[in-house]
Structure 1
Amino acid sequence: MTSHPEESTSSLTVERESTASRQRVWDVIADGWTYSQWVVGNSRMRAVDPRWPEPGSVIHHSIGVWPVVINDSTRVESCDPGREIVLIAKGRPVGTARITLRLHDLDNGGCRIEMAEVAVSPPMSWLPHQVTLAAVFPRNRETLWRLAAVAERRASDDT
């Protein structure tokens, strides 16, 4: 059931290796309440659909720093539990993006995390994909660093 959005084959896909297992990283992604802990720019969670991360489920979050926050939401477009999730994230005022996260086992018991993002609505979708991907690359690199850190911290809490 794995999908292949065009951004997932981009040369600007961000990758990070984690010592946490693929399941441990998935557990963080599948807990919608952790979204603001690892997604750069999100300041707080407002609500999480109890069906998260099933396709069509939504989380409601805020971006920005108080007192200038914007309430937005992210919807699951597709999900292959433990392996891949494709999200449609609203990001007013810059538009909506499709984000693909993929997880791969490593021989050492860890996980390689891949993240790709492409704008799917104006104004960012008016720009060439390579320009928008280059613009989000640093943020996505930090996002994966945070995701790995949360998963690794959870793994160390279990021992």
Structure 2
Amino acid sequence: MTTEPEEIDSTPVVARDTPASRHDVWAVIADGWTYSQWVVGNSRMRAVDADWPQPGTSIHHSVGVWPLLLNDSTVVESCTPERELVLIANGRPFGKARITLRLRDLDGGGCRIEMAEIPVSPPLNWLPKQLALTAAFPRNRETTWRLAAMAERRTHDDR
């Protein structure tokens, strides 16, 4: 059983409903090479650990727009397949953030994607948690939209 990060139970948490199943959404998440396609701000993938998304594994990506790119990495803190993924993302020079993605079945099919992100190291963790959640909300709203769209295409392509 995973420990529930408190930020996912705080507000505002981005919630996106999709007709795609938890399985289809998880398939996108579990393919680390797709990370730069659905996570806002990531421009390219450089490497994905073979056991991604097992706890302790990493993806290595670049953030920004060429020629202003920073090479960064994101590490899995905890993982419950098809249910929850908790990541620690490096966000140089702003510090690290904990990102929680949770998937829930919807009555009648499909799933809800929930996402929260809070800074966990200086300097941004000096902000009040509510302010940090609010600041990340627009980025996470777009990220969950992209994730849902990719899962829906996967579902549609499988028909």
Scaled by the length of structure 1, what TM-score is found?
Answer: 0.98
**Matched ranges for 1:71-90 at <5 A:** 71-90=71-90
**Aligned to 1:109, what secondary structure does the other structure show?**
coil
2:42 aligned with 1:24: no
What do the CA deviations read for 1:91-123 (whole angstroms, capped 9, x no partner)?
111110001100001122201000011100011
The corresponding residue for 1:33 is 33
The corresponding residue for 2:109 is 109
How far the C-alpha of 1:5 sits from its partner, in A, is 1.0
How far the C-alpha of 1:134 sits from its partner, in A, is 0.9
What do the CA deviations read for 1:63-102 (whole angstroms, capped 9, x no partner)?
0000000000000000011100100000111110001100
1:35 corresponds to which letter in structure 2?
Answer: Y
CA distance in 2, matches of 1:3, 1:115: 16
**Aligned to 1:86, what secondary structure does the other structure show?**
strand
Scaled by the length of structure 2, what TM-score is found?
Answer: 0.98
**Aligned to 2:151, what secondary structure does the other structure show?**
helix
2:6 corresponds to which letter in structure 1?
Answer: E
CA distance in 2, matches of 1:106, 1:139: 24
Q: Where in structure 1 do 4 or more consecutive aligned residues deviate above 3 Å? A: none
2:86 aligned with 1:65: no
CA distance in 2, matches of 1:109, 1:132: 32
CA distance in 2, matches of 1:3, 1:100: 11
**Aligned to 1:154, what secondary structure does the other structure show?**
helix
**Aligned to 1:70, what secondary structure does the other structure show?**
strand
Structure 2: which 5+ runs fail to align? none
Aligned length: 159
CA distance in 2, matches of 1:41, 1:52: 20
**Aligned to 2:136, what secondary structure does the other structure show?**
helix
The corresponding residue for 1:50 is 50
**Matched ranges for 1:7-18 at <5 A:** 7-18=7-18
User: Identity of aligned pairs, percent?
Assistant: 71
The corresponding residue for 1:132 is 132
2:108 corresponds to which letter in structure 1?
Answer: N
CA distance in 1, matches of 2:40, 2:57: 21
Q: Is the 8 A contact 2:48 2:60 kept in 1?
A: yes
RMSD: 0.7
Q: Is the 8 A contact 2:36 2:42 kept in 1?
A: yes
CA distance in 1, matches of 2:150, 2:93: 28
How far the C-alpha of 1:2 sits from its partner, in A, is 2.7
CA distance in 2, matches of 1:69, 1:40: 14
